Amino acid sequence: MSRLATTALALVLPVAALADGHAAPLTMAMHYNQDQAAPLLECLADYEAETGQAVEYQQVSYGEYLQTVLTGRIGGTQPDIYHLYSIWGAQMADNGVLAEPPAALADFIRAEYGTTADAATIDGTLYGVPTEVSVYMLVSNMALLRDAGYDAPPATWDELREIAEAITTRNDQGRVETAGFAFAESSSGAGVVHPFYALLASRGMDVYADGFAEANLDSPEAVAAARDLATLVDDGITEKSVDAYDAFPAGGAGMMVMANWYKSAIEDGLGSLDDVVVSPIPAGDDWKTLQYAFFMGVDSDSPNGDAAWEAVRWLNSADSADDSGVSCMGRMLSSIGALTANASDNAAMGEADAFTQPFLDALADGRTVSQPNVMQAAEIEGMMADAIDSVIAGDADAEAAMGDLDRAVEDVLFEFY
Amino acid sequence: MAGRALGRPGGNAPYWFLAPLFAFTGLFLVLPLGFSVYLAFTRWNPLGEPRWVGTRQFEYLLTRDDTFWATLSNTFVFAGALVVIGVPLALGLAFVFSRARGKAAWRAIYYLPQITSFVAIAYIWQFVLDDRYGLANRLLGLLGFRGFDWLTDPTMAMVSIVMVMVWYDVGKNMVVFSAAIENVSKDLYEAAELDGASAWIQFSRITVPIIRPAVVFVTVTSFISGMGFFALILAMTGGGPRGATEVTALYLYEMAFQDLRMGRASAGALILFAIIAVLTVLQFRLLRERKA
């Protein structure tokens, strides 16, 4: 009897709570830590006070986000609101994990976010609100450039090679001490793949063709882009072992192709950003670059889907703006030095600092191409990183390596398209 | 009834005592293993439903996936080096310390890595082996040498991983050998010394033959753990540079949890399991034959 009573109580209590006017709390999983998310947490408290709808914040580390979501879904404990790296979206959408936003919210997204809405769009269907945007640009330590006799960052790849070579110094052991240019070393391979994307886009070539059925990785443009990166090492201008993530903030690298989110690390390392210049990808007048984004989406199995979308809308719209006119999400992103593509927020925030403004200009001027939302994107980018790395290391000829890569990537694409 | 009671004292009691173990084994071994075998014949990312594809995952891995074969090659190099270098080293150290003063302290010192986190070990060795700022190359620089590209050259990266793994594992194997050596009768050594046998003769003609079961055990377990090991590699090189230290277990882990190819990863795990099983049986037979 006592077990029955307990069970009955457990069933009745939530219903009683709902009947008492308290909506079931929503859960929102994001990778930002508590300090980074502090402005957002304040907003969530305001939202609950305003609407009676509680939203619980769950921090999930970036590296384990997808696995955590998968495990949660298998166990039926998935969050209502996701915050997803755009390249995860294709698989989640393909498996029916993501819900489509209400029509009014979709209209709002398309009006506010311009081309960045592509980051949350899979096969023509919009799945959420773009939030943090990252753009790659050339970042230069002007003190090192001036020491080498140059007053401005390079505008072409040949100029980059010339300046990098002039900056590079070696120690007694023949190892690079100060690198003119450095690649970022990341486990995902983004440190070479993202600059490769930028160089490929600057040559006017897309990574994929025919609705993702084919890859253009064996195109002359792709081979040339890989070769541009490889010859920096092959010609002794830099070494792959110099990691831009460490070397640049330590004053040991003159230039790197890097996203805006590394701003605070550079500032912490160098002491200030006064002598750091952000400039276009050095690929001539037709330069383009890569942007990628996170987006907020809602789980298709969420029992509180409508409430979840309403919370997402509120957080990203003027309804959550404070006196500055910036939405809640815009304020949080601004506080951590991240970019938003929300036009109203950017207008309300006005001119950014000298470091950030070129990234925003690239977005506003249509210089950015979105990272493709292709199935198995992370796997494919890992394959790309391996191939480009082998060219950079001189293990393989660019044409042969990119040809092999193209075939391997099309093998993956064939499974899905 | 009386006969039954005599045949099985306590009735069903033994089974009740064993029941938790059976339940645990069923839940955490048989069930996942069975599910893994099933998955090997499906295509599944955990977002959707498994789809039966027959033997296609095996066909792909064995006939089209060059990386899988490359990782198998790396795995054999890694496991082989662990046995060829690690086992004799542990045996030699155990023999030397069995005759040394403060042998318990030496054994404890060599065992220390075993109680240290892999991640901490990986970070420490990354600092030591860093090309530009690492302690190893700084010391070599003082001696006038350029040093090695420990973690950025494909060959040296494998050498470094094996070196660190041997350093990590040698203490554990040494303890096993030490226990076996302690059980060898001292009379045998005294008799050998009276006959003028050198330390090497005593080691090779007395110690090794007598502790052969321990040698077989350590060799086989080192090989098995080497074939399936990847935690240190994941933390230290991530399988790089350019796949040079990508062992099969690491490749399958990435396939399953990064690329979400659970079916293919399960098929790869079964292939790896089969290889390890065959080689383990072969090892046992070879070592037994030598004993005979």
Select the residue of B137, B152, B242 nearest A390 (Cβ to Cβ): B242
Q: Give the closest-approach CA distance of B105 to chain A in angstroms.
A: 39
The three-state secondary structure class of A218 is coil
pLDDT of residue B6: 53
| Partner B contacted by A393 (CB < 8 A) | yes
User: And the tokens for B284?
Assistant: 């046992």
pLDDT over 70 at A121, yes or no: yes
Residue (of A411, A403, A412) closest to A226 by Cα position: A403
Same domain, A128 and A114: yes
Percentage of residues in chain B having pLDDT higher than 90: 57
Residue pLDDT, tens place only, B73-107: 999 999 999 999 999 999 999 989 888 888 888 88
Residue contact A240–B64, C-beta within 8 A:
no
Q: Give the closest-approach CA distance of B238 to chain A in angstroms.
A: 7
CATH code assigned at A227: 3.40.190.10
Q: Give the closest-approach CA distance of B276 to chain A in angstroms.
A: 27
| Partner B contacted by A76 (CB < 8 A) | no
- Report chain B's C-alpha Rg in angstroms: 24
Percentage of residues in chain B having pLDDT higher than 70: 95
pLDDT of residue B70: 95
In this structure, the strands spanning A339-340 and A125-126 are: unpaired
Give the best residue of B143, B250, B259, B262 to mutate against chain A (max A CB count within 10 A): B259
Q: Report chain B residues whose CB lies below 8 A from the CB of A389.
A: 240-242
From B144, which residue of chain A is nearest by alpha-carbon distance?
A173
**B225 burial class (0-12, 13-18, 19+ CB within 10 angstroms)?**
middle
Where helices occur in B26-86 by DSSP H, the ranges are 31-39, 56-63, 66-81
CATH code assigned at B172: 1.10.3720.10
pLDDT of residue A284: 92
pLDDT of residue B1: 45
Select the residue of B47, B238, B260 nearest A73 (Cβ to Cβ): B47
Domain boundary among A347, A364, A381: A364
**A24 burial class (0-12, 13-18, 19+ CB within 10 angstroms)?**
middle
Residue pLDDT, tens place only, A63-99: 788 878 877 887 888 899 999 998 888 888 888 899 9
Mean pLDDT of chain A: 89
Same domain, A197 and A335: no
| Partner B contacted by A324 (CB < 8 A) | no
| Partner B contacted by A97 (CB < 8 A) | yes
Residue B31 in domain: no
Q: Report chain A residues whose CB lies below 8 A from the CB of B238.
A: 187
Confidence band for B288, pLDDT divided at 50, 70 and 90: low
Q: Give the closest-approach CA distance of B70 to chain A in angstroms.
A: 13
Residue contact B47–A97, C-beta within 8 A:
yes
A393 near A234, Cβ under 8 Å? no
- Tell me which residue range forms the domain holding A212: 135-290+372-416
Same domain, A159 and A209: yes
From B132, which residue of chain A is nearest by alpha-carbon distance?
A175
Same domain, A279 and A297: no
From A92, which residue of chain B is nearest by alpha-carbon distance?
B47
pLDDT of residue A12: 43
B93 near B174, Cβ under 8 Å? yes
Same domain, A346 and A395: no
pLDDT over 70 at A249, yes or no: yes
Same domain, A298 and A259: no
Highest mean pLDDT among A338-342, B35-39, B43-47: B35-39
Q: Report chain A residues whose CB lies below 8 A from the CB of B259.
A: 376, 378-379, 382
pLDDT of residue A19: 44
Cα A163 to Cα B122: distance, rounded to the nearest angstrom: 36
For tokens 């790309």, the residue is A384
Give the best residue of A241, A246, A381, A414 to mutate against chain B (max B CB count within 10 A): A241
Residue contact B152–A173, C-beta within 8 A:
no
pLDDT over 60 at B72, yes or no: yes
Select the residue of B137, B146, B259 nearest A379 (Cβ to Cβ): B259
Cα A322 to Cα A309: distance, rounded to the nearest angstrom: 21
Mean pLDDT of chain B: 89
Residue B207 in domain: yes
pLDDT of residue B147: 84
pLDDT of residue B290: 56
Residue pLDDT, tens place only, A14-56: 444 444 445 689 999 999 999 889 999 999 999 999 999 999 9
User: And the tokens for B45?
Assistant: 């990312």
Residue contact A241–B149, C-beta within 8 A:
yes
Length of chain A: 417
| Partner B contacted by A187 (CB < 8 A) | yes
Residue contact A379–B257, C-beta within 8 A:
no
Number of neighbours of residue B284 by Cβ within 10 angstroms: 13
Residue B48 in domain: no
Instruction: State the virtual CA torsion across B186, B188, B193, B198 in degrees, nearest 10.
Output: -100
Same domain, A97 and A24: yes
Burial call A31-52: b when 16+ CB within 10 Å, e when fewer:
bbeeebbebbeebbeebbeeee
**Where are any strands of DSSP class E within A223-366?**
253-259, 276-279, 289-298, 339-340
Higher pLDDT, A11 or A143: A143
pLDDT over 90 at B47, yes or no: no
Select the residue of B47, B149, B243 nearest A91 (Cβ to Cβ): B47
The three-state secondary structure class of A373 is coil
Residue B237 in domain: yes
Q: Report chain B residues whose CB lies below 8 A from the CB of A74.
A: 46
CA dist list (Å): A96 to A86, A90, A99, A127, B47: 16, 10, 8, 11, 8
Residue contact A70–B46, C-beta within 8 A:
yes
- Tell me which residue range forms the domain holding B211: 58-291
Same domain, A26 and A81: yes
pLDDT of residue A22: 56
CA A79 to chain centroid: 21
Higher pLDDT, A13 or A389: A389
Q: Report chain B residues whose CB lies below 8 A from the CB of A127.
A: none
Average pLDDT over residues A302-317: 94
Q: What angle do CA A373, A218, A205 make, to 5 degrees?
A: 55
pLDDT of residue B289: 56
| Partner B contacted by A77 (CB < 8 A) | no
Domain count, chain B: 1
Confidence band for B7, pLDDT divided at 50, 70 and 90: low
pLDDT over 80 at B35, yes or no: yes
Residue contact B132–A240, C-beta within 8 A:
no
Residue contact A174–B242, C-beta within 8 A:
no
Give the best residue of B47, B60, B64, B261 to mutate against chain A (max A CB count within 10 A): B47
Select the residue of A70, A71, A175 nearest B131 (Cβ to Cβ): A175
| Partner B contacted by A2 (CB < 8 A) | no
pLDDT of residue B100: 82
Residue pLDDT, tens place only, B216-255: 889 999 999 999 999 999 999 989 888 899 999 999 999 9
Domain count, chain A: 2
Select the residue of B46, B257, B258 nearest A74 (Cβ to Cβ): B46
Same domain, A321 and A217: no
The three-state secondary structure class of A169 is strand
pLDDT of residue A60: 92
pLDDT of residue A72: 83
For tokens 């090892």, the residue is B283
- State the sign of the Cα–Cα–Cα–Cα dihedral A328, A331, A332, A333: positive
Residue B9 in domain: no
Residue B27 in domain: no
| Partner B contacted by A177 (CB < 8 A) | yes
Chain A 371-390, residues with CB within 8 Å of chain B CB atoms? 376, 378-379, 382, 386, 389-390
Residue B184 in domain: yes
Which chain B residues touch A if contact means CB-CB below 8 Å?
A: 45-48, 64, 131-132, 137, 141, 145-147, 149, 152, 154, 238, 240-243, 254, 257-261
Select the residue of B48, B137, B258 nearest A173 (Cβ to Cβ): B137
Residue contact B131–A241, C-beta within 8 A:
yes
User: And the tokens for A264?
Assistant: 């605070």
Q: Report chain B residues whose CB lies below 8 A from the CB of A175.
A: 131-132, 146-147
From B256, which residue of chain A is nearest by alpha-carbon distance?
A67
Q: Report chain A residues whose CB lies below 8 A from the CB of B265.
A: none
Select the residue of B46, B146, B259 nearest A378 (Cβ to Cβ): B259
DSSP string of A120-167, one letter each residue: GEETTEE-SEEEEEEEEEEEEEHHHHHHTT-SS--SSHHHHHHHHHHH
